[in-house]
Structure formats: structure tokens, C-alpha cells
Amino acid sequence: MKIGIGYDVHKLVEDRDLIIGGVKIDYSKGLLGHSDADVLIHAIMDSILGALGLGDIGKHFPDTSEEFKDIDSMDLLKTVYNNMNDRNYYIGNIDAVIVAQRPKMAPFIEKMRERIAGVLNTSIENINIKATTTEKLGFEGREEGISSQAVCLLINK
């Protein structure tokens, strides 16, 4: 077994879609980034890559590469899954948290879990996603950005 941790943060800006956990959320702002800036998927990918000892998403999907400009992070997650599978590991479980003052994430969490479980070829019961605010403290509380953290347990086949 191996464990990994991931963390990501993106700035909220006008004129961008808000995509978290592979789900488009109707909101007045979106996350700024080279890809679709899916903060949750980025944290999950980093947790898997970390558990495998393969660095982070910046190493595998550099923001200087046009290949990854505006790419769907779910496609990147599939690549990370293939790396994991090629090394004979599968998901034991993932536990993640989204930190955002607004919008409320609760209505979208089950769809996020479904999408992530599908890409990672695991049961939805192995994917846990929580959301919290910071009681208006910090950059998340001021609605300047959204962060996410994830831990994963990988099991050798």
C-alpha cells in the first residue's frame, strides 16, 4: 500500500467556467488556470502521483505546454490513472475536501464522486468528497479563490 497527499488552489475570476470535480457549476466566476483549473481533480492527481513517487502534475502536465492549454482535467486524470494501473496499483480510497466560501458544493458532490470513480475505475464508495467554508477567513473566505486537498490510498494488485 502507498499513500499520497495533494493540494491545489486557483484564483476565482470573471469570464471563466467553474469546473470542479469534472462538473460544471453555474456561478458568476470560474477558476483561472492553464487547463480548466479543476482544483479538486488537480489535488486528486497530485495525491496519486505522490503515492507513486512520480512528482506532481506540474512535472507531467506543465503549464508552459500548449498541449495542455484549456484541457479537461478529467482527461489528465485518465492519464494519471493509466500511470497508476501500469504500475499495478488500484485505488483503495480517496478522501478530499473543497474549500470555498461560495458557491455551495453540496448539490454537486454526488455527481463529482460518480465522474471521478468512473475515470479511476473504482467504486463510488471509494471516493469521498467534502466541502467547507473558512467562515470568511483567508483568500477562500474573501471569495478570491478555491482550494482543495486530497489523500489517497493505493493498493498493489
Known binding site: residues?
A: 8-10, 34-35, 42, 56-58, 100-106, 132-135, 139, 142
**Cα three-residue angle 133-107-70, rounded to 5 degrees:** 80
Give the list of residues 6+ apart from residue 19 with CB closer than 8 angstroms, or none.
Answer: 25, 30, 31, 36, 37, 38, 73
Rounded Cα distance, 101 and 114, in Å: 23
* Burial class for 113, CB neighbours closer than 10 Å (0-12, 13-18, 19+): buried
Please give the annotated binding residues for a divalent metal cation, written as ranges. Answer: 8, 10, 42
Beta bridge partners of 153: 3, 93
Candidates 42, 153, 137, 60; CA nearest to 98 is 42
* Three-state DSSP class for residue 7: strand
